[in-house]
């Protein structure tokens, strides 16, 4: 559970922010149908692989927690195999895996470029949020 006061501060400060549950998963959800099913079964507005880990550590230490996420692969778009092959468990990109995947199926290039563009747009949005937060990230006293 997120800290409501902190979440409220963030909602007030970040233009267009949406508050809602995030479902944590251990692997990417690639298919739009699976994303939709998760939304229906959990009510989550987003799926990620990190926030639930941070939340469990914070809860174990009685620390406040909230999450600011951007969506880089929308619920209506499939995350293609080449993009999945590129992801390492630590969040970095495996360039060699991308090259191998592209050699197997060059037709994946347009969707890989779309996924990369979505990731850049998301990063820019996340970085622009940072300017609204200040050094305390709007953590309540």
Q: Is the pLDDT confidence value at 102 over 80?
A: yes
Token reading at 96: 């060699």
Mean pLDDT estimate for the chain: 90
Residue 73 pLDDT level (bands cut at 50, 70, 90)? confident
Do the Cβ atoms of 108 and 80 come closer than 8 Å? yes
- Give the per-residue pLDDT at 11: 93
Q: Is the pLDDT confidence value at 87 over 90?
A: no
- Give the per-residue pLDDT at 57: 95
Q: Is the pLDDT confidence value at 91 over 80?
A: no
* Rama region for 97: left / alpha / beta (φ>0; ψ in -120 to 50; rest): alpha
What's the whole-number mean pLDDT along residues 78-100? 86
Token reading at 92: 């970095």
- What DSSP string describes 26-87? SS----HHHHHHHHHHH--SEEESSHHHHHHHHHHTT---------SS-TTS---HHHHHHB
What's the whole-number mean pLDDT along residues 5-27? 92
Read off the pLDDT of residues 24-40 as tens digits, 9 standing for 90 and up: 998 889 999 999 999 99
- Give the per-residue pLDDT at 12: 92
Task: Quote the radius of gyration of the chain (alpha carbons, Å).
Answer: 17
């Amino acid at each position: 559970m997120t800290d409501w006061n902190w979440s409220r501060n963030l909602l007030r400060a970040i233009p267009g922010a949406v508050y809602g549950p995030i479902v944590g998963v251990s692997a990417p959800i690639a298919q739009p149908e699976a994303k939709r099913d998760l939304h229906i079964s959990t009510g989550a507005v987003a799926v990620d692989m990190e926030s639930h880990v941070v939340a469990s550590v914070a809860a174990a230490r009685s620390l406040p927690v909230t999450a600011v996420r951007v969506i880089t692969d929308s619920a209506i778009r499939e995350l293609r195999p080449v993009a999945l092959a590129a992801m390492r468990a630590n969040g970095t990109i495996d360039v060699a895996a991308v090259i191998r995947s592209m050699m197997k199926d060059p037709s994946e290039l347009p969707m890989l470029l779309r996924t990369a563009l979505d990731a850049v747009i998301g990063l820019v949005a996340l970085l622009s949020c940072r300017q609204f937060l200040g050094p305390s990230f709007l953590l309540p006293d």
